[in-house]
Structure 1
Amino acid sequence: MAETYAALRAARTLAIAFVVPLQGPTGIYGPSCLACGELAVEQLNAGRGIAGREVELVIVDGGRDPEVVADEVGALVDTGRVQAVAGWHISAVRQAITRRVGGRVVYAFAAMHEGGDETPGVFMLGERPINQLLPAAHWMRRELGVGRWAIVGNDYVFPRVTGTTARLALEGTDSQVVSETYVPLGTSDFSGVLARLNDQPVDGVIMLLMGQDAVHFNRQFARSGLAVQMPRLSPAVEENTLLAGGAGAHEGLYAAAAYFDSLRTSESSELAAAYYGRWGAWAPALNAVGESCYEALLFLARLGEVCGSVSMESVARLETGHFYSSPRGLMRLDGNLVDQDVYLAEADGLEFRITDQIARAR
């Protein structure tokens, strides 16, 4: 009888490996990821779930070594415990997971990314340099006169590929990348990096630092006095980073993202009302990272609605160019990538103030 019940429950439930960072430099994002993920599940299960199946999240700590994360996800897929993968985590973790289970289950990768992953079943839902970092750099050249950039990033695939993309894309324009520095994840002392910045002919800094590393850098950057002369631009800094850094660490800091808590579109306002209505005024920050996790789960629901299932066979029939609505506004599927509206915001103490829209879903 117990086996029959378990089989029936498995048939009625869609279990998703929800891979989000709970430790390490990116662990600062974890509470926002969990709160947004749970909200999405509650909303989905109040309706049809995903393709008529109740949604269950199986939490996987994506803040550990990529191979350790991939082994845990692989075991969950191997045993049939989960039927899909979703969440926000760094690209090094994504690459390890795709090597382990790529092509076997649908994988909704929510983070901003460097692009170029053609693994079957992988959908790259985040922003990418072509609609995030590069338009922001052009805006800052036009509006602030920032032409010579120094890149400071963590030493793994996303910052390095994004840095190379920026350097090549800006060649022949009024902007250029004059230096690139990459440090290990978990770096807390940036004194050497700041000394080199002070000696270089640089107008601004492109920050490709994650989580707590960005917090340390911003604090030390502000104390060095460089904030007065060098604006910073980041595709990864969000509201948790501002809170952790403190109000005095963010003069001249700009962020480019598809979602901010201060975004006041009708779609974003609907999510904010539901989020704070569920978790209250002291909830974890509603930010681009948490919203991305919410986005990934709603995307799987959209796949189930359009394809009838989230199995690899069903999803393979999904046509490119598909439009759908989300808290970010109108989204368009371009192969396994997503085009979306992207905004530039300036840090104002512990909040972001939207400055301009720099990209639109095409």
Structure 2
Amino acid sequence: MRSVRICLLIPQSGAAGLWAPSAEACGRLAVDEINRIYGILRRPVELRIVNAGETGASAGRAARDAIEIDGVDGIVGMLPSFARDFVARASRGRVPFIYTPQFEGRSTPDVLATGETAEELLAPAIQWLSESRHARRYFLCGNDYVWPRSSLQIARALIGRFGGTVTGEYYLPVGQHDFDEMLDRIKVTHSDVVLPYFLGGDCIAFNRAFCAAGLSSRVLRFSSAIDETVAYGLDVDETENLYATSSYYASIRSRNNGAFLERYHMAFGDSPPPVNAFGESCYEGIYSLAALIEEAASLDARKLTRLYGRTFQQRTARGDQAQSVVGSRHPIYLAKVDGYDFSIITRR
């Protein structure tokens, strides 16, 4: 009886490449745990780490090769939204595709998206900024592709709902770090808050430029695109007035997260890749695929995709939970970034 082959499809270079080490570590941890307990359909699980590359086309080619050459039974993808449809087309009708990171909230029916949506992440934070920090003027900026644009369109509506106004909006292509004009616009608008939605390495570059421009002491920054890996790319003083929101932080105090972190460090030592929501989503994605296959008692893609959106038992870093529906699965945490620590402010 052959093993169940899972493709973990992640960018290993480019702006999103900084999450690759933690994504791979979390994926390997999930597979090791599954194999120690029961496997999938009583078969051992084999994990194939596949480089998605830096474009949608490269991700689609990598997915197709994983199916046709490596013979994988399912794809778990932690990759930017601009690559999602390419992978969906390659996998459609052939293998299930689990898409794990936070996303703008729209996907095709043949994708099982397990991450939180932009509205779930943005709404409690914008409400808190409005009520607790009396923020009224917001500047929106980010990379020029579907996730930032769609997320900030949702932010615009939420800002209006809570009595605020949008003072400006500016986008740059992925990989471009010429922020001078954008920062000049932020200065002249006298904004209370900037919402930067940049991808990975671009997010680090923006926040460095923002602080170098002398804005961090007088303008708040808030984004769900900022996590531990991004924070470690900044100097301590570059996190002044920086807020973030996520469904997962390594700093969450709970018995389940404590047990997850203990297993993670036992597997990868005292200095592993930093645990973060993007990497941890791969751990959940592999358990989601395993639960999907067990529920269907089959590797047939047609039977598996019929179960998308159903509720079944799934393991996460926060404990076993009966869940699979997009969103409304985990609490959302608003945190203040204090150096390299994420201090939880609210939980919704």
Structure 2 length-normalised TM: 0.93
Instruction: Determine if contact 1:152/1:181 at 8 Å carries over to the other structure.
Output: yes
Contact 1:328 1:341 in 2 (8 A): no
Task: String of CA shifts for 1:236-287, please: whole Å, max 9, x gaps.
Answer: 2111111111212111111111111111122211110100111112111011
Q: CA deviation at 1:135?
A: 1.6
Q: Out of 330, 335, 342, which is 1:345 matched to?
A: 335
Compared CA separation, residues 248 and 331, structure 1 to 2 (3 A): farther
Correspondence 1:247 to 2:236: yes
Q: State the distance in 2 between where 1:317 and 1:173 align.
A: 37
Partner of 1:270: 259
Aligned mates of 1:138, 1:114 — CA distance in 2 = 19
Aligned positions of 1:120-139 closer than 5 A:
120=110, 122-139=111-128
- The answer to whether residue 41 in structure 2 is matched with residue 51 in structure 1 is yes
Matched, 1:28 2:18: yes
Query: 1:261 aligns to what SS in structure 2?
Result: coil
Match of 1:256, SS? Answer: strand
Query: 55-64 vs 134-143, which deviates more?
Result: 55-64
Structure 1's 292 and 317: CA in aligned 2 closer, same or farther, altered over 3 A? closer
Cα deviation, 1:181-213, whole Å, max 9, x if unaligned, reads: 111111223122111100113110111111111
Distance 1:319 1:251, change over 3 A: closer
CA distance in structure 2 between the aligned counterparts of 1:264 and 1:172, rounded to whole angstroms = 32
Please name the residue that 1:333 is paired with: 324
RMSD over aligned Cα, in angstroms?
1.9
Q: Which amino acid counterpart does residue 68 of structure 1 have in structure 2?
A: S
1:86-145 Cα shifts (integer Å, max 9, x gaps): 03110111121112222431111111101221332x211111122101221111111111
Kindly indicate whether the alpha-carbon contact (under 8 Å) linking 2:137 and 2:192 is maintained by their aligned counterparts in 1.
yes
Rate the CA distance shift 1:153–1:52 in 2: closer, same or farther, 3 A: same
Q: Does 1:148 align with 2:137?
A: yes
C-alpha change, 1:60 and 1:80, in structure 2 (3 Å) is closer
* Other structure's SS at 1:227 match: coil
**Cα gap change, 1:199 to 1:266, in 2 (>3 Å):** same
2:193 corresponds in structure 1 to: 204
Structure 1 counterpart of 2:300, one-letter code: S
1:296, CA displacement in angstroms? 0.5
Structure-1 separation of matches of 2:315 and 2:244? 23
Cα contact 1:146–1:175 (8 A) shared by 2: yes
Q: Is the 8 A contact 2:27 2:283 kept in 1?
A: yes
Question: AA paired with 2:136?
Answer: G
| Aligned residue in 2 for 1:74 | 64
In 1, are the aligned partners of 2:122 and 2:245 still within 8 Å (CA)? Answer: yes
Aligned equivalents of 2:190, 2:144: Cα separation in 1: 23
Aligned amino acid, residue 119 of structure 1:
P
Partner residue in 2 for 1:186: 175
* Pairs aligned (count): 346
Q: Which amino acid aligns with 1:65?
A: T
User: Unpaired runs of 5+ in structure 2?
Assistant: none
Distance 2:53 2:221 in 1: 26
Task: Select between 307-316 and 81-90 the one with higher mean Cα deviation.
Answer: 307-316
Q: Check conservation: 1:149, 1:176, Cα contact below 8 A.
A: yes
Q: Evaluate the alpha carbon distance shift between residue 319 and residue 292 of structure 1 in structure 2; reply closer, same or farther with a 3 A threshold.
A: closer
Q: Give, in whole Å, the separation in 1 of the partners of 2:32 and 2:141.
A: 39
Shift of 1:310: 4.5
Quick one: percent identity of the two aligned structures?
A: 30
Residue type matched to 1:305 in 2? E
Could you state the TM-score of these two structures normalised by the residue count of structure 1?
0.90
Alpha-carbon offset, residue 357 of structure 1: 0.5
Q: Give the Cα separation in 2 of the matches to 1:61 and 1:331.
A: 31
CA shift in 2, pair 1:297/1:288, >3 Å: same
Aligned residue in 1 for 2:84: 94
List runs of 5+ in structure 1 lacking aligned partners. Answer: 1-7
Q: 1:197 to 1:331 in 2, by over 3 A?
A: farther
Give the residue type in structure 2 aligned to 1:181: Y
Contact map agreement 2:130 2:162 (CA 8 A) in 1 = no
Change (3 A) 1:277 1:322: same
The separation in 2 between residues aligned to 1:172 and 1:17, in whole angstroms, is 42
Q: Is the 8 A contact 1:86 1:108 kept in 2?
A: yes
Q: Secondary structure of the equivalent of 1:333?
A: coil
Q: Determine if contact 1:149/1:204 at 8 Å carries over to the other structure.
A: yes
Distance 1:128 1:190, change over 3 A: same
Question: For residue 90 of structure 2, what is the amino acid of its counterpart?
Answer: R
